[in-house]
Amino acid sequence: MFRGYSRSNAPLKAISLFIKALNYNLLPDDYTFPSLLKACVVAKAFQQGKQLHCLAIKLGLNENPYVCPTLINMYAGSNDVDGAQRVFDEILEPCVVSYNAIITGYARSSRPNEALSLFRQLQARKLKPNDVTVLSVLSSCALLGALDLGKWIHEYVKENGLDKYVKVNTALIDMYAKCGSLDGAISVFESMSLRDTQAWSAMIVAYAMHGQGQDVMSMFEEMARANVQPDEITFLGLLYACSHTGLVDEGFRYFYTMSEVYGIIPGIKHYGCMVDLLGRAGLLHEAYKFIDELPIKPTPILWRTLLSSCSSHGNLELAKQVMNQILELDDSHGGDYVILSNLCARAGKWEDVDTLRKLMIHKGAVKIPGCSSIEVDNVVHEFFSGDGVHYVSTALHRALDELVKELKSVGYVPDTSLVVHPDMEDEEKEITLRYHSEKLAISFGLLNTPPGTTIRVVKNLRVCGDCHSAAKLISSLIDREIILRDVQRFHHFKDGKCSCGDYW
C-alpha cells in the first residue's frame, strides 16, 4: 500500500497510512522506508521525511543500502543538498546507488564542481558508474563547460554499452553543445538509431545555441518528416534561433504554430524569446506592447530582457519606463541599475547615474560578480572579476599585463567607457577592465595549455564589449581558437573574428 500510494497522485496517503501502522506497533523496515521517503519527496513533506530519518536512525537502518539512497534523495529533493551530504558521509562503504543519489542532488542544485569531485571519488573506489551516474555527470560537465571530462564519459558510455539509452545520448548532445563542440553533438545525434522528441529537441537547441538558424529550421522539418512530435523545448530552440538571426516574421510564425497546430501553451521562456526577438531587431516599442498585453503577469526577467535591448539600441527614454516596471516587481537585482546607469553615463547624465547608485545602495541590491571558468587537465578553475587587483600580482597577472601590452601594439584600445565611475582615473578604469574574469581565464588557458589548443571559457554573465574585442585580437595574435560561452550564447573567436558577427 505504501508503495502504491507513493506512486499515486495522493502520496500523502502513504504517510497517514504509516501513522495507522505505527498505532498497531508495526515498525517500518528496509523494504517500507524507501516507499515512505519517496512519498515525502513527491508530496514535498520534508518535515515528515526528517522524522522518518530519525526513526531510521533509532531502528539502525540509516546506513542500510536500500534506505540510505532514498534518504539522500529526500534531502536533495528538499533542496537541502548539504543535508544529503551529511547522510552520505555517514556511510562507510557507499555503493553506486548512494553515489548516484548524491551526485544527482548536486547536479540538480547547480553545484557541478561537487558532483564531479564525488564522481572522481566513485572512480577511485573502483565502483562502476551506470546510466544514472552518467546522466548527472554529463549535465555537470555541460554546466561547467568541461569538455575533456565529457569526452571521457562519452568513451566510457561506448565501451560499456550505455549508448543504448536514448536519454544518455541526449545528455551527450547537450553536453557537447554546451561545451562548444557542435560537431560532437552532431556526431552523437547521427549515431543514434532511435530518436525521441527530447533527442531532436536537444539537437535543435544545439544548432540554435551555435547560431545556425538555417540548420535549426531544416532540422525542424526533418523532425516532422520523421513523425516525431515537437514539444515546448523544440519551440524554444526555434524561437531562440529566430531571435539570434533577426528573423522576426518566422519567429512569429513558429510562435503561433506552437499553440495553434501543436496545442502547446507558451510558457514564460517562449515569451522571453519573443521579447528578445523584437528587442534585438530594434522593435522596442512593439516589445513593450507585447509584454504589456501578455495573458499572464510578466516576470522581472521579461522586462529585464527588454531593458538590455534598450541598452544595446541606446534608448534611454524607454529604458527608464522599463526600469519602473522592473522596480515594481523586484528591486534587488543590481544588474538592472548598472545597465540603466551605463545608459545614463553614455548620455552624459551624471546626476541620474548618481541617483541610481544611491537608490541601488538604499535597496540593498547587489551586483553578481562576473565569474569565468576554464577546464585544464580535468580540473575546473574559476576566476572572478577583479581577482587579485588589490593583492600582490601573481604570475597570471603579470602574464595578462604582458598580453595586454602586446595587444595594444596591434591596435587594442581598452574601452574605458564601459567602466562607469566618475571618480576613477582612466588608468584605474583600465586596470579594472584588464582583470575581468574572462581575460583572467583566457590568459590562464594560454599559460597552461599547449600551443594550438582551443581555449574554452564559460562565463556566468554576458561577455563585456572590451573582453570581446580583446578575445578577437588574441585569436589572431596568438593563433588560438577561443570558445567563450556566456549566459546568452557562444562566441567562437578565430583569426580575429567572432562567430556572433559582433551581434550579441
Is residue 360 within the footprint of Zn ion (CB under 5 A)?
A: no
Of 68-76, 77-85, 294-302, 493-501, the window that binds Zn ion (rule: CB under 5 A) is: 493-501
Is residue 436 within the footprint of Zn ion (CB under 5 A)?
A: yes
What minimum distance in Å lies between the beta carbon of 175 and Zn ion? 22
Is residue 407 within the footprint of Zn ion (CB under 5 A)?
A: no
- Shorter beta-carbon distance to Zn ion: residue 53 or 210: 210
Q: Is 175 strand, coil or helix?
A: helix
Q: What is the DSSP letter of 162?
A: G
Read off the C-alpha cell for 128. Answer: 562502476
Q: Determine the length of the chain.
A: 504
Among 204, 217, 403, 500, binds Zn ion (CB under 5 A): 500
Rg (C-alpha) for the chain, rounded Å, is 25
Is residue 472 within the footprint of Zn ion (CB under 5 A)?
A: no
What minimum distance in Å lies between the beta carbon of 502 and Zn ion? 6
Q: How far apart are CA 111 and CA 452, in angstroms?
A: 31
What minimum distance in Å lies between the beta carbon of 434 and Zn ion? 9
Is residue 304 within the footprint of Zn ion (CB under 5 A)?
A: no
Is the Cβ–Cβ distance between 374 and 350 less than 8 Å? no
Among 464, 473, 474, 483, binds Zn ion (CB under 5 A): 464
- Shorter beta-carbon distance to Zn ion: residue 429 or 491: 491
- Shorter beta-carbon distance to Zn ion: residue 333 or 459: 459
β-strand pairing of 379-384 with 455-459:
unpaired
Is residue 244 within the footprint of Zn ion (CB under 5 A)?
A: no
Q: Which residue type does 247 have?
A: L
Is residue 457 within the footprint of Zn ion (CB under 5 A)?
A: no
Give helix 248-260 / helix 268-280 axis angle, nearest 10°: 160
| Those residues with Cβ within 8 angstroms of residue 382's Cβ, 6 or more apart along the chain or in another chain | 371, 372, 373
- Shorter beta-carbon distance to Zn ion: residue 325 or 341: 341
What minimum distance in Å lies between the beta carbon of 470 and Zn ion? 8
Q: Positive or negative, the Cα torsion across 470, 476, 479, 482?
A: positive
Q: How far apart are CA 504 and CA 491, in angstroms?
A: 9
Is residue 498 within the footprint of Zn ion (CB under 5 A)?
A: yes
- Shorter beta-carbon distance to Zn ion: residue 361 or 487: 487
Among 273, 374, 467, 473, binds Zn ion (CB under 5 A): 467
- Shorter beta-carbon distance to Zn ion: residue 157 or 467: 467
What minimum distance in Å lies between the beta carbon of 493 and Zn ion? 7
What minimum distance in Å lies between the beta carbon of 339 and Zn ion? 15
What minimum distance in Å lies between the beta carbon of 151 and Zn ion? 24
- Shorter beta-carbon distance to Zn ion: residue 140 or 372: 372
Read off the C-alpha cell for 427. Answer: 588608468
Q: How far apart are CA 54 and CA 32, in angstroms?
A: 15
What minimum distance in Å lies between the beta carbon of 84 and Zn ion? 36
CA distances from residue 339 to 322, 345, 430 in whole angstroms, order as listed: 12, 10, 19
Give the interface size with Zn ion as a residue count (CB under 5 A).
Answer: 7
What minimum distance in Å lies between the beta carbon of 381 and Zn ion? 18
Q: What share of the chain is helix, strand, coil (3-state, %, to 5)?
A: 65, 5, 30
- Shorter beta-carbon distance to Zn ion: residue 387 or 466: 466
- Shorter beta-carbon distance to Zn ion: residue 74 or 500: 500
Of 71-79, 233-241, 435-443, 448-456, the window that binds Zn ion (rule: CB under 5 A) is: 435-443
Q: 429: left (phi > 0), else alpha (psi -120 to 50), else beta?
A: alpha
Is residue 491 within the footprint of Zn ion (CB under 5 A)?
A: yes
Contacts of 87-92 with C-beta under 8 Å, sequence gap 24+, read 87/53, 87/62, 90/62, 90/63, 91/63, 92/63
Q: What is the DSSP letter of 122?
A: H
Is residue 489 within the footprint of Zn ion (CB under 5 A)?
A: no
Of 38-46, 324-332, 395-403, 489-497, the window that binds Zn ion (rule: CB under 5 A) is: 489-497
Q: How far apart are CA 472 and CA 476, in angstroms?
A: 7
CA neighbor of 103 nearest in space, from 72, 125, 57:
72
- Shorter beta-carbon distance to Zn ion: residue 157 or 498: 498
Place of cell 548618481: 354
- Shorter beta-carbon distance to Zn ion: residue 53 or 491: 491
What minimum distance in Å lies between the beta carbon of 326 and Zn ion? 24
Is residue 210 within the footprint of Zn ion (CB under 5 A)?
A: no
Residues at the site binding Zn ion, with contacts judged by CB under 5 A: 436, 464, 466-467, 491, 498, 500
